[in-house]
Structure 1
Amino acid sequence: MQSLQLECDGCHFHDAWLPKVADGELRRRNRNDVSLPPLFLERAVSCLLHFASAQGAKLHVCLSSQLHVPCAAASRLVLGALPRGKVLKPLVPEFGRYLKVLTYPESGALLRFMRTLPNGAKVTSRFLSGGSSPGEVALVGDYLDTVDLTCKPRQGSFDIQDVSLACFSHCPFPDNAPLHKGCKAECLSDRCFQKGFIAKAELRMLLDVLPTDRKFAKSRGDCLDSTKTWTSGVFHFSGHAGLRDVNNTPGVPNLLIPCSDFKAGAVRVRPADPQQPELVLEVSQHPAKLDAALVHSTDDWSGERILLVAFHVQGATSMSCADQKRCAELGFVLGIDAAEDRVPDADGLGRSSTETVFVGVPSDPEEFIRKAVEAGHPMDMARHVCPAVDRASKANFCDPPEAVIQRRLCTLRRWESRAAELDPLEMEANMRRPHHIQALLKGKRILLWKELLREIGYPDVKILDEVEQGLPLTGWMAESQVFASNPRAPTMSVETVVAMNKGFHALVKGRLAKRQDHDVEQKTWAETEEEIAKGWFWIDESGCWEGKIIAHRFGLLQKLKLRTIDDCSVGGLNCTVGLPEKMRVHSIDILAAMLRRALELCGGKATCRWLGRTCDLQAAYRQFGISAAARELLRIVVNKPGAAQPILLGANSLPFGAVGSVAGFLRLSMAIWSISLVGLELCWSAYYDDFPTVTSEPLLENTSSCVDRMFTLLGLDYANEGKKAPQFADSFAALGTWICSELSAARLKQELTTCIDSILADGSMTTKEAEKLRGRLVFFEGFTFGRVAQVAVKHVGRHAQGSSGTVKLSADVKWALHMIRRRICHALPVTISAMALQTTCIFTDGAFEQGRGSFGGVLVSPHGRCVAYFTGEVSREAMHHLLATSTHPIYELELLPVLIAMHVWGKLSSHQQTVYYLDNEPARIGMIKGAGGTAIADLIISKATALECELGQHAWYARVPSHSNIADDPSRFYFERLHKLGAARILLDESWVASLVLEAG
C-alpha cells in the first residue's frame, strides 16, 4: 500500500466485504458492490500486470498474437463462428502507439497533456518512482515514445486555461453515495472532482451549504445589495473601502473563473502606485488573474453572477502532515513559493517522487486501415495448427502413400518388438499393484505406454504412475502441463464434507425417494448387475453410510441407449476436487481445423477420396481404477426394482459422474491421441473416448490396421465390431454431427421439423421442452451457414424462462417456430474450405446531434484502397419514429449503416470474407448475437443477417476506436479526406433509407 501512496484517509465509510441477504437469499459481494477510487484501481492493476509479466505471462493485444497459443474460445473460428464476450482480442489493436510519460503524481500536468492527445487516448498502466512493467515495454516495442513532463516548472507561472476540476483525480465517494452527515459541502465537492466537471445546479447547492463568514463584514465595506453576500463569494464595495486579501501566499495570484452568464460585474484593482491607472478585469467575458494583495472591488452586475475564486493560502505548509497529505491527494500544490519544497507524507515518502505512465494513443484512420488489411479475417488465422498435426495432415493427404505406409510399419514393428520384451516385466509390475487395480489393468501394457510417451517427448508421463495406484477422486489433481493453467480450488475439504454428512445424506435420500420410471429403473439395475459381475463395482453388505461420501446412481435414456450416471455432486464428493488446469477436449472445431489445413496443403482441392470414421473405446471409464483412499471413502446407492431399500455399492473403477474421473481420463485420452498422432502420423482428434479419424483412400487399409494394432498394443478395449465400429466412409458421424453427408443432414432436419410441427399442433409447450428445443436449435445453427434464426431462437429461449408447467404459445413464439421451420428446410451446412478468400473491410458509423441522425460507410478493397463511401441523414419522419422509443437512438443509428452497406456493396463482397468495423460496442454485440435490444434494432439486425446469408458472406464484426474510424467523416458530412484517398460517393434514396427504419412499426 505504501508503494501505491493511496492509503485510506479515514474520511469515508467502508462497506464490509461480507455476504448479505437480498430478497430472502444469501448473496456474495462482487465488484459492483464496493466502489474504489479510480487512481487506486489503476495503480493496483498495474502492479498485478507487472507481477504477471515477471512470472512469464504474455499480454495479447490483438487476435493474431492470441492465436499463436492454444485458445479454446478461438477454436470455432474455422467454422465461421462469431465470438461472445471479451475472451478474444480485437482484430486490430486498440492503440497504434504508446507514450511513456514521466510526471509528478500530485500535479495536473498529465491531465493537461492528455487533453492534447487524440480522442480515445487512455492510460494503460502507471507506476510510482519510475517503475515500469517489462511486459508492457516489450509489448509496445518500437511504438514507444517518451514524454518527460517533470522537466517543466512545477510551480510559479501557469496558464489560466489549465484550471480544470479534471486534474483532481482522487475521490473516495461513488456517484450514488449518500451525503455525509455534517459534511455536505465536502461530499458535494468530492463528487464533482470525481466527475471532472460541475453543473450550475450543483454549484448553487455547494454555495448554499458553505458556512457564512460574517466576522469581518464591516471592514470589507457596505454591500449595495443585501442579496449579494460573502456566502456566495461576491462583493460590491463603495468608494470609501475595498478588499485586500492579506492571508494569501505573497506573489501567487488568485484565479477568477466565471461560472454563470451575467453582464458587467468587473473586478477593479487599485495599483500600488497611485500614478498608475486602475486595472479593470472583465470577468464576465473570460477567466482572469488577480493580485489579491492589492485593494480590489466589484462593479454592479445584472443576472446571476457566480464567480469561482481559487487562491493559495499563506502558511499552508504549517498544517499537520495528515492534512498536507490529504490536500496533496486532492491535487492542491503546497509550498508553492519555493520550488524545492515538497509535501512530506505521513509515512515519510516525498511527494516529489515521479510516476511513469503508459498512454495508449489510437491510430489515425489511414494507419488503422492499413493494419485492418494486414489483419484480414479470423478464418485465415484459424488455419494455424500445431506442428504435429501439420505433419500428420501432410502425411495422410500429400506425401506418397508408399512412404507413409513404410514409416508406420517400421514404427509398429519396433513397438511390438519392445512390447514382447516388456511383457514379463508387465506381469510382475501388475502383481505389485493394489489388489482392486490388478484385474482392471490385466493385459494393459503400462510400462510400454510410459516408454512411448517418453519417446515422443510427452510431458505427462506421470499420469500412468497414478493409473498404477488408482486415480484420485478428491483433493488437488496433478498438473499435466498438457492443458492451459487455470486453477480452480476445492470448495470444501474431505473432512468438511464428512462432518456435514447429515445434510448431504438427507439430499441423497431425497433423490432416492423419487423413483424413476419402472422400465428405466429396471434397465439401470440390469446394467449395475453386469458391472458388478465384471468386478467394476461391488456390493457393500454392511449397508453403513457412516463416514462415507454417498453418490446417487440413476439411469439416463439417450435415444435407444441407457447410460448409468453416478451423481457425485449431490453427496459432496465433487466439492473436494481442485483442478489446476482447464480441461479441454477436441470438439468438432479441432477436427475441422485439421481438415482445412489438409485442404490447404493439397492446394485447396482433394486429389483423392477422403474417408473417415469414429473409433470408440468400450466402457472407457471402467478400464481404469480409483485410488485405495477413494475406494474406502466413496459409496454409491442405487434403487433396486421391487426393493424398498436401496443397494449400497463400492467402486473399483472410475465412476461416471465424478470430476476426478473426468480429469484423469482426459489426461489418458490426450496421451492416447498424442502417441498415434506423433508416432503413426494418424489424422485424428480426441473427444473423451471417441477418436474421429480421417484418411485418404490410398491409406485406408493401413490406417485401419494402425488404429487396431495401436489399441491392441496398449491393451485397450475398443469397439471393433457392431454399430460402434462402422467402416471408413465418405460420410461419418462425429461428436453429434455428420461430416460430408447430405443424407444425414436431411435426417437431422426431419427430426427437428417433426418436433416443431408437434408443438405447433398442440399450441403449447412446457418450459422444459422449450429449453430442450432451444439447445437443439443452437446446436443446429452452429453447423449451418448464416444466422437468420437468432432472433427466433431468442423468443424460444424466453419461453423457456417462463413459469413452470405447460404454457400456451404466444404470438411471438408461434412466429419464431414457423420461421425456424422454414430456416431448417432451407439451411445450408457449414463448409470446410481452404480457398484463399479475399477479405473486404467495411467501416460504418452513426451520429446523433441536436435531434438529427446521420450515418456513413466506407468500402475498403482487399488491397487497402478506399473504393467508395455513402453518407446521409435520416428523414424527420424516421427520426420521429426512432425518438418515440428512445431519447438518444444512437444504437439504432449505428446499426443502420451496416444494413445499408450490405445492400449497397453486398454483390461486390458476395461469397467473400467481410469484416465490418463499428465503433459502437452495443451495436457490434447486437450484430454478433443476431438480435437487438429494441424492436427497430431487431428489424435491422434480422434483415442484415438474412442478407448476410443470402450473399454467402463470411462476416466478422470488429471494433474500431472512434478516432480511427474513417466512416466518422461521412457520418458528419466531411468528405475532404475521402476525396483525397480517391473514394467515390454512392448516392442513396432518402425514402428507401427511411423505409428501413419505418418498417419496424
Structure 2
Amino acid sequence: MLYVFELAWGVPHEPEKFVQEAVTAGHPSQYESFLPKILHQALEAHKALSDAELVKLRLKWVKKWTERSQTLELRASERDLKASLPQHAKTILKDKKIALWKEMLEDLQYEDMGVVDELVEGTKLLGEVPLTNVFPQHFKPAEFSVEDAKQESQTLREVVLKKTRSSGDRDLDAEVFEKTIEEVSKGWLAGPMELSSLPEPSLIGRRFGLKQGPKTRLIDDLTVGGQNGTVQSNESPKPQGPDVIAAILIGLMKVLPGESVEGRAYDLKSAYKQLAICESDLWAAFVSCFNPKTKSPSIFQLKAVPFGATRAVYWFLRVVRSIWYIGVVGLKLPWSCFFDDFVVFSKQGMVKSTDAAVTALFRLIGWKFAEEGEKCQQFSSEVSALGIKVCLKDFSRGKVYFDNTEKRKQDLSDLIQETLKSKNVTQKEGQVLRGKLQFADSQVYGRLSKLCLAEVSKLCASGGKALDGQAEMALKRFLGFLSSGKPRVLSCHTDRPFFLFTDACFEPTSPFWACGLGGVLVNDQGILLEFFSCSLSDEEMKKLGSESKKSIIFEAELLALIVAMYRWSSVLKSASCVCYIDNNAVRDVAISGRARNAAGIHLLERLLQVEMRLGVNAWFCRVASESNIADYPSRNDLRLFNAVRQVEVKPLIRQILKGFG
C-alpha cells in the first residue's frame, strides 16, 4: 500500500499584515453571500429608478406578455403542445401557459431551458436527476438501480401492503381516505383498483396522514415502496430560506435608506399537484391507503406529483426557480422562493404595483396561488412565512427582526412537553423533534439553546431511548429559550463585521506581569479602534486554578475573549464578528460550546450568555501566535498602539470572575 504525505511550509504574516488579510477575508457567513447576483441587480434597480419609472417598467412588461399571450400564433402553439400530452397531463396542466412561459424564459436568457422540456414530459419518479447547472454540485448515489426495483417489485409491494394499516386514530383514517377520494375527482389520482389489475412490474408507495396543527397533510411515502432508492443526483437544489430573505432586507435597507417597507408571502395552491407525472413512470406511481370502511389497503395510481417523492423535490425546485427568475429579472421583484412560498417586499408607496406585478405573473403562466382564505396575506409590516415572523416596523430606522411565529413556538412547546411527559423517544420521534428544534433555534440568537440541541442529537444517534437526566434538562432549557430568546436583529450594518484579536500570556515567575490579557478591536476597514492590556492579580489567577494547575493559559485565553466581548458589547450588538484566537483549545471550546474543567465551564457559560445578549453573529478562527496583534498588549508591549485608544477592563474582569472559586 502506498502512503502519501504532504507538508505545507510558510512564513507567518507580520501582525499588521495579518489584520489586513483578515479584513479582506471578511466574515464567512455574511448575508450578502446568500444574495444571488441577479437579485442584487434587481435591488440596485430600486435605487437607480424612481417609483414612477419602476411602475412604468412593470406595466410595460406585463402589457407585452399579455398581448403576446393573445396572439393567434401563441394560442396555436399552446393548443398543439397540449394536444401532444398524455390524457392525465392534459387535465393537470390545462391551465398552464407553457408556450408563453418558454418564450419569457428565452427572452430573459434563462440558463436552464431544459426545465420546459421536463414539464412537458412530466415528472419522473425514478432514476438519475438531470444536471441543470443552476444548483450547487453534490453527488448522491442511488441505493439500487431501476432494474433492481423492477425485479424486487413483488417483494416491495408485499412490504408496503403489510405496513398499510390504521393510524390508531379513526378520525384521521377517515379524513385521509376522504381526501384521497377528493383527489380522484380532481384528476390527481385514479382508483381505487384491485391489486390484480396492476401491471407487472409495478411499485406501490404508502399514503398516510400527518397532523400539522388543525390540518392534515397527505404524505406519499415512496421510500418504503422502493421508488426513492433508485434516485441518483449530481446537484443539491437549495430552497431560498430565511438567510436569503435576510439578505434581501439588508440589501433593501442599503438602497432604500429611511423608507418604509412592507412584505407579503404568496402561497402556491396544492403546488406539487399542479405538475403531472411522466407517463413512462406511471408503473411505479401507485400508493396504498388504509380504507377505514374495509379495514384493508386500497390502491390508487398517482397522476399528479406526490409530496414524498425524492425526484419530485428536485423537479419542483427547478420549476419554481424559473418563476422566481422571471419575477426578479423581468419585474425587478425583491423576492425569494422557498418551495411553494414566494416572499416579496415593497416600498410602502409601491405596494399596489408590486402586488399587481406578482399577480399578473402567476396568472399569465397559469400558476394557482392563494387568493383567499388564511394563506392569502396582505402587504404588512409583519410577514409570516416558513414558520418565521419578520417584523419591518423599524425598517426606516435601519432594523428588522426575525423570530419564530407564535404558532411554531406553541407547536414546539406542545411537542417538547409531550416528550417530557412520555419519558421515552423513538429514533424517528427524536429525528422529528431535532429537525423542528433546529429550525426554530436558527431564529434565536446565541448558542445556549444549541447546547440543548446537542443533547437531543445524541439521543437520536443512540437509536432512541428513555430520556436521561441530561436530555430531560436540555428539553426543559429549550422551552425557556423558545419563550425568552430574543429575536434576530438585522441592520444595514450587519454585513460590516468587526474583528476581535485576543491573547493571554502566563509566566508565573515574572514578578510584575505573571498573567497578562490583551485584546484589540478592528473595524471592517482594518483600522485599530481600541485595545486593552492588563495583568491579573494573584487572587484572580487563583480563581482560574493557578494553585492546582501548572498552567492556566487556557483559562486566561478564554477569559481574554470574554472580556473583549463584554468590553465592546456596544459596537458588537446585533453585528457580525470574527474572533481570532491563537489557542486551539479555546477556539475549539468557543465553537463547540463544551468545556471540561469547572473554570472552563463557568467561563464558557459567560461567553454564551454575552453572545446571546448581544445578538452577535460570532465566528471563531485560529491565528498563529506570530501573527496575533493582541500578543503585544497581552505582554504589556504597547509599541504598535501609540495612536490607539486604550480601555480599562479590570472592573469587567472582577465582574466576570465573581462567584469563581
TM-score, with normalisation over the residues of structure 1?
A: 0.58
Residues in 2 aligned to 1:969 and 1:439: alpha-carbon distance in whole angstroms:
74
Instruction: Please say which of residues 470-479 and 823-832 is displaced more in the overlay.
Output: 823-832
Larger Rg: 1 or 2? 1
Q: Are 1:489 and 2:455 matched, yes or no? A: no
Using the TM superposition, give the Cα deviation of residue 623 of structure 1 relative to its aligned residue in structure 2, in angstroms.
Answer: 1.4
CA contact (8 A) 2:403 2:488 kept: no
CA contact (8 A) 1:637 1:647 kept: yes
CA contact (8 A) 1:860 1:866 kept: yes
Using the TM superposition, give the Cα deviation of residue 394 of structure 1 relative to its aligned residue in structure 2, in angstroms.
Answer: 4.1
Question: Which residue is 1:879 aligned to?
Answer: 545
CA contact (8 A) 1:756 1:821 kept: no
Residues in 1 aligned to 2:91 and 2:566: alpha-carbon distance in whole angstroms:
68
Question: Which residue is 1:547 aligned to?
Answer: 201
Residues in 1 aligned to 2:320 and 2:381: alpha-carbon distance in whole angstroms:
26
Q: Secondary structure at the match of 2:528?
A: coil
Change (3 A) 1:795 1:441: closer
Using the TM superposition, give the Cα deviation of residue 763 of structure 1 relative to its aligned residue in structure 2, in angstroms.
Answer: 6.7
Q: Are 1:789 and 2:429 matched, yes or no? A: no
Superposed CA deviations along residues 102-158 of structure 1, whole A, max 9, x for unmatched, are xxxxxxxxxxxxxxxxxxxx52xxxxxxxxxxxxxxxxxxxxxxxxxxxxxxxxxxx
Change (3 A) 1:467 1:818: closer
Question: Which residue is 2:395 aligned to?
Answer: none
Question: Which residue is 1:461 aligned to?
Answer: 113
Q: Are 1:522 and 2:174 matched, yes or no? A: yes
**2:80 equivalent among 421, 428, 453:** 428
Question: Which residue is 2:236 aligned to?
Answer: 582
CA contact (8 A) 2:575 2:615 kept: yes
Question: Which residue is 1:945 aligned to?
Answer: 608
Q: Are 1:534 and 2:186 matched, yes or no? A: yes
AA at the equivalent of 1:633? A
Using the TM superposition, give the Cα deviation of residue 415 of structure 1 relative to its aligned residue in structure 2, in angstroms.
Answer: 0.4
Matches within 5 A, 1:45-64: none
Q: Are 1:932 and 2:591 matched, yes or no? A: no
Q: Are 1:389 and 2:39 matched, yes or no? A: yes
Q: Secondary structure at the match of 1:625?
A: coil
CA contact (8 A) 2:563 2:652 kept: no
AA at the equivalent of 1:419? S
Residues in 1 aligned to 2:612 and 2:380: alpha-carbon distance in whole angstroms:
30
**1:859 equivalent among 517, 520, 540:** 520
Unaligned runs of at least 5 residues, structure 1 = 1-7, 9-35, 43-121, 124-358
Q: Are 1:402 and 2:61 matched, yes or no? A: no
**2:499 equivalent among 808, 824, 841:** 841
CA contact (8 A) 1:854 1:893 kept: yes
Using the TM superposition, give the Cα deviation of residue 703 of structure 1 relative to its aligned residue in structure 2, in angstroms.
Answer: 1.7
Between the two structures, name the one with larger relative contact order (CA 8 Å, sep ≥ 6): 2
Matches within 5 A, 1:774-923: 775-795=435-455, 807=467, 810=469, 816=474, 819-835=477-493, 839-845=497-503, 854=515, 856-862=517-523, 863-864=527-528, 867-872=531-536, 875=541, 878-879=544-545, 883=549, 892-906=555-569, 913-923=576-586
Residues in 2 aligned to 1:579 and 1:555: alpha-carbon distance in whole angstroms:
28
Residues in 2 aligned to 1:557 and 1:764: alpha-carbon distance in whole angstroms:
19
Using the TM superposition, give the Cα deviation of residue 918 of structure 1 relative to its aligned residue in structure 2, in angstroms.
Answer: 1.3
Question: Which residue is 1:342 aligned to?
Answer: none
AA at the equivalent of 1:495? E
Change (3 A) 1:891 1:524: farther
Query: More helix by proportion, 1 or 2?
Result: 2
Unaligned runs of at least 5 residues, structure 2 = 393-400
Tell me the number of residue pairs that the alignment of Structure 1 and Structure 2 aligns. 639
**2:223 equivalent among 549, 569, 575:** 569
AA at the equivalent of 1:782? S
CA contact (8 A) 2:188 2:304 kept: yes
CA contact (8 A) 2:125 2:284 kept: no
Question: Which residue is 1:78 aligned to?
Answer: none
Superposed CA deviations along residues 845-865 of structure 1, whole A, max 9, x for unmatched, are 356799999563231443136
**2:347 equivalent among 690, 693, 696:** 696
CA contact (8 A) 2:384 2:390 kept: yes
Question: Which residue is 1:725 aligned to?
Answer: 376
Question: Which residue is 2:397 aligned to?
Answer: none
Q: Are 1:659 and 2:322 matched, yes or no? A: no
CA contact (8 A) 1:377 1:913 kept: yes
Question: Which residue is 1:747 aligned to?
Answer: 406
Change (3 A) 1:526 1:656: same
Using the TM superposition, give the Cα deviation of residue 909 of structure 1 relative to its aligned residue in structure 2, in angstroms.
Answer: 5.1
Superposed CA deviations along residues 81-116 of structure 1, whole A, max 9, x for unmatched, are xxxxxxxxxxxxxxxxxxxxxxxxxxxxxxxxxxxx
Q: Are 1:650 and 2:316 matched, yes or no? A: no
Q: Are 1:445 and 2:97 matched, yes or no? A: yes
Question: Which residue is 1:37 aligned to?
Answer: 3
CA contact (8 A) 1:408 1:680 kept: yes
Change (3 A) 1:438 1:826: closer
Change (3 A) 1:841 1:408: closer
Question: Which residue is 1:477 aligned to?
Answer: 129
Residues in 2 aligned to 1:729 and 1:507: alpha-carbon distance in whole angstroms:
50
Change (3 A) 1:397 1:523: farther
Matches within 5 A, 1:319-334: none
Residues in 2 aligned to 1:552 and 1:836: alpha-carbon distance in whole angstroms:
46
AA at the equivalent of 1:475? G
CA contact (8 A) 1:732 1:738 kept: yes
AA at the equivalent of 1:519? D
Q: Are 1:957 and 2:612 matched, yes or no? A: no
Change (3 A) 1:726 1:921: same
Using the TM superposition, give the Cα deviation of residue 870 of structure 1 relative to its aligned residue in structure 2, in angstroms.
Answer: 3.4
AA at the equivalent of 1:438? K
Residues in 2 aligned to 1:388 and 1:408: alpha-carbon distance in whole angstroms:
17
Residues in 1 aligned to 2:465 and 2:522: alpha-carbon distance in whole angstroms:
54
Residues in 1 aligned to 2:215 and 2:554: alpha-carbon distance in whole angstroms:
49
Superposed CA deviations along residues 967-996 of structure 1, whole A, max 9, x for unmatched, are 44566x473755788785968589949947
CA contact (8 A) 2:563 2:649 kept: no
CA contact (8 A) 2:501 2:629 kept: yes
Question: Which residue is 1:614 aligned to?
Answer: 265
Change (3 A) 1:893 1:957: same
CA contact (8 A) 1:551 1:636 kept: yes
CA contact (8 A) 2:387 2:408 kept: no
Q: Are 1:411 and 2:73 matched, yes or no? A: no
Q: Secondary structure at the match of 2:620?
A: strand
Residues in 1 aligned to 2:205 and 2:128: alpha-carbon distance in whole angstroms:
20
Q: Secondary structure at the match of 1:944?
A: helix
Give RMSD over aligned pairs.
3.7
Change (3 A) 1:912 1:485: closer
CA contact (8 A) 2:139 2:233 kept: yes
